[in-house]
A and B are shown apart, each in its own frame.
Chain A
Amino acid sequence: MTTTELMTLKTEPFVLNFGPLHPSTHGVYRMRATLDGEVVLDIEPVFGYLHRGIEKLAEERTYTGFIPLTDRLDYICPMSNNLAYCLAVEKLAGIRVPERAEYLRVIMAELQRLVNHFIAVGTFLNDCGAFMTPVVYMLREREKILDMFDMVCGQRLTYNYMRIGGVGQDIPEEFLPALRKFLGTTPRFIEEMEWLLKQNEILLARTKGVGILPRDTAINCGISGPVARASGVNRDLRKADPYSIYDRFEFDIPTGEAGDCYERYRVRIEEMRQSLRILEQVTKQIPGGPVRAEVPHLIRPPRGEAYAHLEAPKGELGFYIVSDNSIAPYRCHVRPTSLINLTALREMVRGWKVADLIVIFGSIDITMGEVDR
């Protein structure tokens, strides 16, 4: 074939199926990508492969009996899910939580943020092509936190630790020394990773300027969490609508400007530092006392509805509960972080190549358990 013949050759868009079982889709996510050569023209997400009907299951379980199922929503960070649900029921029933329980909740929520960001950054670098090395280092650090969660609540992944009106059990005496040791070693690890990756030219070439999410698009799509903050939206519910006792601690909210994949990575690293800062303050201030309010075994909140939200590691996580004064919620709705953050994916990937699609998808940091529920 001559060059002129090639130039006049008719081309047409090509539809490529990603997933549901693709190593880079972080779960059972499927997208139909329309490609022009290697350039992504459009993507069409297909959800529902992990749908378990958790919202419906809440209607036939007691208020306490639904807590183990919230673990299964975003299975990377179950403590945050537990906390969000408990906050919603406490708001509905007007329960006051003891002081020590609030501190324990903050410890668990911040450790959970570290866990999530270790996974998020590790798998994101894995998607960028740093195959396995960073993710294994990150998982080793995560393991230290999982050990501590295991010590407190007896399991490494589905914690079921928060209860309505406090937390399940008080921490064992060996917990705080372990936490102090952890706080002593982890900043060094984060600095090492920063030194390795911040100026790495391959990482910069793959992520800088890639998948830009403009500030107004982020606001219009309802994006929250590190993805929104990387686009310059200075909104963190820990400061914007302080829940629990977050107004007692000093911390900053890292924000980016460019809104590209590199900024999202930077914001997550900065958030890890801020979480460590909060944990330092909590370990100094933690008081004694009971860890659980006097709550009846079968809670019957008064008729009404409540919405409580918190800053989960991935963004705003909310629970909306309607009560009809029975032992089970009349309706329970979850405002999922991952699903809403995923809606901006199409805006971000248009015009980028297939290899960038993977990187952009990894930089949003989603969990399919929360998307499909």
Chain B
Amino acid sequence: MKFERYGIGIIKGMTVTIRHLLRHPTVNQFPEQRLNVSRRTRGNELIWSREKCTGCATCAKTCPQGAIEIVTATNAENNKYEVETYRVDTGYCIQCGLCVEACPYDAVFMGYSYERAKYRRGELVQTNDELLESPERPASGYYHPDIAGKLPVQTLLVDKIVEKRK
């Protein structure tokens, strides 16, 4: 191995380093600055709509992990079929989104929020009213293009770098 070019590599390396030093930074200071996540993001939670759900349990059959449990009953008073329990064990959920895709009545949504960690294992098992949509638990546009249109546009690193160069 001859080293007649010795030293050029260091100069090249420093040139690239300095060039990158003067570039637009791509890092965000997370808790203060937040990027918009994807409109189709499959967030940490499942969101369930009590009005639309008929208790057909297609989601429970599709779930590869078996994390969804549904108990249905016939209401004797007005002779109606209703969902008694809809329980999701978020600890088993792998956020694959197959339940949302399978639901024939559009009653299940992926969550748009993040940072939904819990302190106890038991709190991960969510039942009935804990699964409904609320301001802290917005629905994502995964397989729901109508919701996706209303969500903010995703921040892209490509856009950021291209805009800076102009």
Contact = CB atoms under 8 A, between A and B. Distances in A.
Q: Do A and B come from one complex?
A: yes
Interface of A: 61-62, 64-69, 133, 137, 140, 143-144, 147-148, 150-155, 158, 160, 168-169, 172, 174, 178, 181-182, 184-185, 192, 195-196, 199-205, 208, 297
Interface in B5-43: 5-6, 8-9, 12-13, 16-17, 20, 26, 37-42
Given A68-B96, A154-B40, A297 B9 contact: no
A184 B162 contact: yes
Nearest to A183: B158
B94 interface: yes
Contacts, number: 103
A36 to B, nearest CB: 24
A334 to B, nearest CB: 17
Nearest to A179: B158
Interface in B64-102: 64, 94-98, 101-102
28 contacts: A61-B64, A65-B64, A66-B64, A67-B96, A68-B94, A68-B96, A133-B17, A140-B26, A143-B157, A144-B156, A150-B37, A150-B154, A151-B38, A153-B40, A154-B41, A155-B41, A155-B95, A169-B40, A172-B40, A174-B153, A174-B154, A178-B156, A181-B162, A199-B9, A200-B9, A201-B8, A202-B9, A297-B58
A65 B98 contact: yes
Nearest to B62: A65
Contacts of A202: 9
B117 interface: no
Contacts of A160: 96-98
Interface residues on B, range: 35 or more
Contacts of B157: 140, 143-144, 147
Nearest to A65: B64
Contacts of B17: 133
Given A65-B62, A151-B38, A168-B101, A192 B16 contact: yes
Interface-centre pick from B3, B64, B142, B158 (highest chain A CB count, 10 A): B158
Contacts of A61: 64
A169 B38 contact: no
B13 A151 contact: no
B58 to A, nearest CB: 8
Contacts of A199: 5, 8-9
